[in-house]
Structure 1
Amino acid sequence: MHDTTETTAPAAPQQGTHQYLLTLQVPMGGGFAVGSWTGTWTPHPGTTRHDLYLALRDDIARKNPEYGDASVLFFDVQSNQI
């Protein structure tokens, strides 16, 4: 008789079909503050890169008001598949 133990790893969190990165800069205290936000996202059919850009800017400004009028240093969105 064999005793076998089977274990399973926890499921990986669901990821979106696209990955984005947005880096913003604001003047602060005689210098600058720079913040970057990254994540994954699955767009609805017909959604554009600009739609995501605007949604990210709105969300960031709501959560971090100091970045409301920030300058964009970098923005990219690409397929999340290698």
Structure 2
Amino acid sequence: MATADAQRKWRDKHRFVKSQLNVMARKITHDGLKEISETFGLHGKAEAVAFCAYVVRAMKQKGDRDAATYLYLDALKAGFKRDRDIFSP
């Protein structure tokens, strides 16, 4: 764990462009992020999270113009909500 000094320095340096995200997640989520990172050649789990957010935003935008993408994303959302307890911390 970083020292308080190191954390303050990081926050001061990145105050306007980044915000730190510390979350508790189940092992299945960590394993999934590691797999995504390896599959797509990303730099670790943090970049995998950013990639997942990017993909969801892209699918949402495409879903605004394409019914099949909208329905697919809607099915993914319903599946996640149905099985939420498996993925939630």
**TM class by smaller structure:** under 0.3
The two structures have a TM-score, normalised by structure 2, of 0.26
Higher strand share: 1
Higher helix share: 2
- Indicate the structure whose relative CO is greater, using CA pairs within 8 Å and at least 6 residues apart: 1
Q: Is the radius of gyration larger for structure 1 or structure 2?
A: 1
The two structures have a TM-score, normalised by structure 1, of 0.28
